[in-house]
Amino acid sequence: MRVILPGVHIGDGAIIGANSVVGSDVEAYSIMAGNPARLIRKRFDDELIGLVERFAWWDKSIEEINALIPILTSSDLEMVRKEIRARQDSV
C-alpha cells in the first residue's frame, strides 16, 4: 500500500516504493520510498530523462509503440539514448 497525499503530483515514470507516504511532488523517473517518502535515486541521468520526455512515446500510435518495445525495454541505456536521438532527428 502507498499513500499519496492530496495535491501531490507524481512525474512520468516515477516509482513509489511499497508502504511509502508521499507528501510532496515527485520528479519524473525518480524512485521514492519511505515514510515520509524520500528520493532513493533517479532511474536515468538527466540527459536520458529529457530525451524520453521529449520523445513522448506514450503519444504515439499503437503500431509505433509496438515497434518501439525492444528499444524502450532494453537495459542497454546507451543504445536507448542513441535510438531515441536518431528517431527524433528523423522527425
Whose grid coordinates read 531515441?
Answer: 84
Q: What is the pLDDT of residue 31?
A: 98
Provide the pairing of β-strand 30-34 with 37-42: antiparallel
Classified as helix, coil or strand, 59 is: helix
pLDDT under 50 in the chain at which residues?
none
What pLDDT, on a 0 to 100 scale, did the predictor assign at position 1? 87
pLDDT value of position 89: 74
Distance from the Cα of residue 42 to its chain's centroid: 9
Q: What is the pLDDT of residue 14?
A: 97
